[in-house]
Every structure is written in C-alpha cells, then in structure tokens.
Amino acid sequence: MYFNTKQRKAFNPLVAFLQFSTDSFMKWFKLVSILGVLPVCLIMVSCQHDPFIGPNMLPDPPVSGMCDPDSVYFQNQILPILVSNCTESGCHNLQDRKEGVVLDSYQNLLATVEDATNNDFEKNKLIRAILDSDPDDRMPPAPNAALSTAQIDLIKRWVSQGALNNACDENFGGCDPTDAKYSSLIQPLIQAKCLGCHSGNNPQGGVKLSNYTEIKAYALNGKLYSSITRSSSWMPLGGAKLDECSLQRIQAWIQLGAPEN
C-alpha cells in the first residue's frame, strides 16, 4: 500500500527528526533560561539591605584643616543642630525612626529625607520641615522651640554650598589642654553632640546627660571618656570622632574632678 502525498510528508523520517530536535532544543533552552535567571534573582534578593546605617559603619569624613569662616561644615555645625533638636527619644534617631526618618548622620539624612540636598528650598523636605508654619508639622514639633533664624540660615547656606559631608579642625594651629571648663567646653559640647539622644524619658542606652550632676557621674566613672574615645562605644552617635584637642581638654577636666567651673 502506498501512502498518499499528505501522509508521506507527515511521516517523513527527516521531518520527524527535525521536529523532535526543535522541540527538544526549545525545552532545553527554556530550562537553561530559568536556571540562569534563578541565581540572578537570588543575588538580587540577598543584596537587599536596611537603608539605615549604624554608627560603626560610618567612616569619619575628611577634615579640611583650618575652618573657613565663609564655609559651613556638616560635621561641625549642621549635624549638632540636627542631633540636639531632632534625635531625642521617640523622634528621628536610629532606634525610633519616626516616620522612617533618621537624622543622626549624613548618610541617614540623605537616605531618609527626600531632596535633602536640593538647592530648591520649595522641594527640599528638610528645609520645608523646619520652616513649616504649623507647630505640629514643624521640625522640631511643639512644644519644642523652633530652630532659631541663625540655625535655619546656617542649614540653608550649607545646602546652597553643595550639602557636603565636610568637617574642619576647630583647634587648627594649636591646642591648650588646660583650657578645660564645664561652662565653656563640656556643657556646650554635650548640648550640641549628645543631648538629643541622652535626654528625655527613654535616653539611649539608659544614659542621661541632661544636667551637670548626670554628666559628672558619667565623667567620674570613666564611661564618658571611654565613649568619646570610642574604646567602649561609638560616640557621638553618627558623627565624626571628637578632635584630639577636645579629647585632651575633656580628659584634663575629668582629672581635675569634673568641676562645675
């Protein structure tokens, strides 16, 4: 019996072989494609990370040397304003992260505040927050006092100059370790760099530094100095390590018995 033309084409061995080879290749290609994409997906998942950066992950910014009076320095001038006014318990610190915003370091500021470096102050949400006319929406919110005009102008100047993570040596050119007084050195330093985290009803680490008595207690038990030299912890949190001259002056004050002078 002879097959008709249509039947011969359907059972042609060469055609059947090619059809089988094509189907097998497509199945093989799909399998390889899936297996090839899977590691990439796993890598992408494994690379996801928390945008917040802990203090021990932050390198100190380069110090430019002598402070230029026409320049604004983030580590020296801007970060202390943010820490002392915005990172108290329940607010924009690494632990509480109010509204997802953390203001304890340059890196976390940029990661959590939209357009924080935008020179258009209408779009810059950091500037908009500190200028908000509603006391409840303003940063810091009521009943806390608003930032002073001088502080706001300083932040604006910093943004206008490029919003850099910069620092300068405030003791460039000489250091007098004996010039160590509570009123002119210790209290202003604590106010600018420590009080935002170490005050209120839930101070960080249970360490409260809101008055002379509390500061003196930690100075005399050695915890204050070991923290700022970063031998036991990482302070100031999120900021650059204190310069060597300031450390020497604080040590001298402690060695005198931490007087309220």
Do 200 and 100 lie in a common domain? no
Read off the tokens for 3: 């097959």
Do 125 and 87 lie in a common domain? yes
Mean pLDDT of the residues in the chain: 77
Do 79 and 99 lie in a common domain? yes
The sign one gets for the Cα dihedral 50, 53, 59, 65 is: positive
Q: Which one of 142, 168, 194 terminates a domain?
A: 168
Q: Which one of 168, 183, 213 terminates a domain?
A: 168
Q: Dump pLDDT digits (tens) for 31-42.
A: 445 445 444 333
- 3-class DSSP state of 171: coil
Read off the tokens for 247: 């450390």
Res. 258: pLDDT tops 90:
yes
Quote the pTM value: 0.61
Look at residue 46 and tell me if it is in a domain.
no
Look at residue 30 and tell me if it is in a domain.
no
Q: Who wins on pLDDT, 200 or 46?
A: 200
Q: Dump pLDDT digits (tens) for 202-237.
A: 777 788 888 999 999 999 999 999 988 887 666 766
Q: Which one of 168, 196, 224 terminates a domain?
A: 168
Look at residue 106 and tell me if it is in a domain.
yes
Do 190 and 146 lie in a common domain? no
Say how far apart CA 121 and CA 172 lie, in whole Å: 33
Q: Who wins on pLDDT, 157 or 247?
A: 157
Full residue range of the structural domain in which residue 139 is found: 60-168
The string of DSSP letters for 183-198 reads IIIIHHHHHHHTTTTS
Do 69 and 114 lie in a common domain? yes
Q: Dump pLDDT digits (tens) for 151-199.
A: 999 999 999 999 999 998 877 777 888 888 999 889 888 887 787 678 7
Give the per-residue pLDDT at 26. Answer: 57
> Among 144, 158, 153, which residue's Cα sits nearest to residue 76?
158
Number of structural domains (the chain) is: 2
Q: Dump pLDDT digits (tens) for 64-106.
A: 678 899 999 998 899 989 988 888 778 888 887 899 999 988 9
